[in-house]
């Protein structure tokens, strides 16, 4: 005879299984898009082959084509990322050359596996490629550094396939101030050149990414842009007080602008981390050893990445959970509305939490959303529909 406790446990397990099946059906039926990952770094510096399934713990790699398929991820924006270096003529030229090498690495890897993936340029490409059973690979640029001070570089990068630019990274550049530059603001938001960049990106049909930029730069962009903007990998500052996240007024502004904020699953942006002085010291020493990760040779960069992954092993963080991540979605939906929230993992650039450690576990986000009562239509919006709406609006405006 079953006791009440066993009956309750059995009912709970049965209900949980029904929700999992429902989540799996939804996840399979919609277009799922990750608006930001740093996988090109893995290709170039860790020599990761995206055509084979890599182990995330031993390789440090969070994304490859087999795991995208396994996790039901249909489309991803691969970031052409450059850390901020010297802002003189030589430094800018070198940054542009490095950016082109990263573009070439992306194209080469996709070309190597034509049966698995395809380069995508326009919003409708993802839906067409999805029907073929392949993964759609878009390209964005993280950090406007390779633009230098030349507006013509924007069009050159657009022609190479770049469909958004994150205006800066962790330090100020010639376009705008960063949210995390230790020296504080330099331009009080957008520079004069940055204002030209915003308008030229509008003209080209290139999405403006406000992740990483300072609060003042954020409002400058919103005031100037003629089209909605994206935050390709940012979360809610009210839930986790980090300057890389957006506060409630910024979320309301994104709503008014018609843009979209993409949940970033980098641990420290999801949940405030307890003090870990040993890890902090190890990271500081590594940064000093490799000159703040600028001006490195290819071999030095590969070794630096290897040593950074070792820090994760030697001094592990306390991982946030999928539930913690969806707390951000709940809050952003509450403040900005269901039409203005999406997902941009920052995998291979630091992203990864318990239950969503690599892209093979993407379905766990959908399951948590189903558990919390989100409808299939709402989940479709979060997993790609909202981002694609902005993408289309930016393309329709260009010219």
Instruction: Give domain status of residue 290, yes or no.
Output: yes
Q: State residue 316's pLDDT score.
A: 77
pLDDT score for 297: 74
Would you say residue 392 lies in a domain? yes
Residue 259 sits in the same domain as residue 139: yes
Whether residue 3 is contained in a domain is answered as: no
Query: How many other C-beta atoms lie within 10 A of the C-beta of residue 182?
Result: 7
Residue 283 sits in the same domain as residue 351: no
Contact 234, 262 (CB under 8 A): yes
Which residues have a Cβ under 8 Å from the Cβ of 180 and sit 6 or more positions away? Answer: 170, 171, 212, 243, 244
Model pLDDT, residue 304: 76
Residue 11's pLDDT is what?
A: 52
Beta strand 207-209 pairing with 341-343: unpaired
CATH of the domain at 37: 3.20.20.140
**pLDDT the model gives residue 267:** 94
For residues 220 and 224, what is the distance between their CA atoms, to the nearest angstrom?
6
Residue 383 within any structural domain of the chain: yes
CB of 40 within 8 A of CB of 64?
A: no
Give the number of other Cβ atoms within 10 Å of residue 338's Cβ: 18
Q: Do residues 206 and 60 share a domain?
A: yes
pLDDT, position 6: 47
> In the chain, which residues have pLDDT < 50?
1-2, 6-7
Task: List, for residues 288-335, the tens digit of each pLDDT value.
Answer: 787 666 677 777 777 777 787 788 778 777 899 999 999 999 999 999
Residues 164 and 282 in one domain: no
Distances from the Cα of 127 to the Cα of 23, 151, 258, 322, angstroms: 20, 32, 22, 27
In-domain check, residue 6? no
Residue 15 located in a structural domain:
no
Q: How many domains does the chain have?
A: 2
Burial pattern 264-281, b for ≥16 Cβ within 10 A else e, equals: bbbbebbbeeeeeeebee
pLDDT at 8: 53
Alpha-carbon gap, residue 95 to 223, rounded angstroms: 29
Cα 388 from Cα 125, distance rounded (Å) = 11
How far apart CA 145 and CA 22 sit, in angstroms, is 44
**Residue 161 and residue 306 in one domain:** no
Pair (209, 306) in one structural domain: no
225 and 136 part of one domain: yes
pLDDT at residue 49, as a whole number: 98
Domain boundary among 259, 292, 316: 316
* Domain with 101 in it: 23-273+319-397
- 362 and 392 inside one domain: yes
C-alpha 275, offset from chain centre: 26
Same domain for 330 and 348, yes or no, is yes
pTM for the full predicted model: 0.92
DSSP 8-class letter at 5: H
Q: Which residues contact 77 (CB under 8 A, 6 or more apart)?
A: 33, 34, 35, 36, 37, 138, 139, 140, 163, 164, 232, 344
Residue 229 maps to a domain: yes
CB 38 within 8 A of CB 76: no
Residues 6+ apart with CB under 8 A from 159: none
Asked if 129 and 219 sit in the same domain, the reply is yes
Tell me which of 286, 316, 346 is where a domain ends: 316
**C-alpha to C-alpha distances, 242 to 131, 172, 183, 271, 399, nearest whole angstrom:** 39, 18, 17, 9, 37
| Of the residues 254, 287, 316, the one at which a domain ends | 316
Tokens in use for 100?
């082109």
361 in the same domain as 306: no
pLDDT of residue 12: 61
**Pair 311, 352 in one domain:** no
Distance CA 109, CA 95 (A): 21
Q: Is residue 2 part of a domain?
A: no
């Amino acid at each position: 005879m079953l006791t009440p406790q066993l009956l309750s446990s059995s009912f709970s397990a049965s209900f949980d299984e029904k929700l999992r099946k429902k989540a799996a059906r939804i996840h399979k039926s919609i277009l799922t898009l990750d608006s930001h990952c740093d996988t090109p770094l893995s290709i170039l510096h860790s020599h990761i082959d995206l055509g084979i399934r890599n182990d995330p713990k031993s390789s440090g790699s969070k994304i490859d084509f087999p795991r995208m398929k396994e996790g039901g991820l249909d489309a991803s924006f691969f970031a052409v990322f450059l850390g901020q270096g010297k802002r003189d003529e030589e430094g800018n030229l070198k940054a542009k050359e490095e950016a082109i090498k990263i573009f070439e690495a992306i194209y080469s890897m996709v070309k190597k596996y034509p049966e698995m993936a395809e380069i995508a340029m326009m919003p409708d490409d993802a839906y067409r490629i999805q029907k073929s059973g392949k993964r759609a690979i878009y390209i964005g640029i993280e950090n406007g550094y390779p633009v230098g001070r030349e507006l013509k570089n924007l069009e050159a990068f657009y022609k190479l396939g770049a469909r958004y630019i994150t205006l800066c990274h962790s330090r100020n550049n010639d376009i705008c101030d960063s949210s995390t530059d230790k020296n504080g603001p330099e331009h009080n938001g957008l520079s004069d050149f940055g204002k030209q960049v915003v308008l030229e990106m509008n003209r080209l049909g290139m999405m403006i990414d406000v992740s990483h930029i300072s609060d003042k730069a954020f409002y400058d962009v919103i005031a100037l842009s003629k089209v909605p903007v994206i935050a390709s990998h940012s979360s809610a500052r009210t839930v986790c007080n980090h300057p890389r996240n957006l506060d409630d007024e910024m979320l309301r502004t994104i709503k008014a602008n018609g843009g979209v904020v993409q949940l970033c699953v980098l641990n420290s942006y999801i949940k405030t981390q307890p003090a870990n002085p040993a890890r902090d010291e190890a990271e500081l020493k590594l940064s000093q050893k490799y000159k703040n990760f600028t001006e490195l040779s290819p071999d030095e960069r590969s070794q630096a990445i290897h040593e950074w992954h070792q820090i994760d092993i030697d001094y592990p963080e306390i991982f946030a959970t999928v539930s913690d991540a969806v707390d951000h979605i709940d809050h952003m939906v509450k403040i900005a509305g269901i039409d203005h929230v999406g997902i941009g993992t920052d995998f291979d650039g630091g992203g990864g939490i318990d239950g969503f450690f690599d892209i093979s576990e993407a379905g766990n986000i959908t399951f948590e959303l189903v558990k919390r009562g989100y409808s299939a239509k709402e989940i479709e919006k979060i997993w790609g529909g909202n981002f694609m709406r902005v993408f289309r609006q930016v393309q329709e405006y260009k010219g």
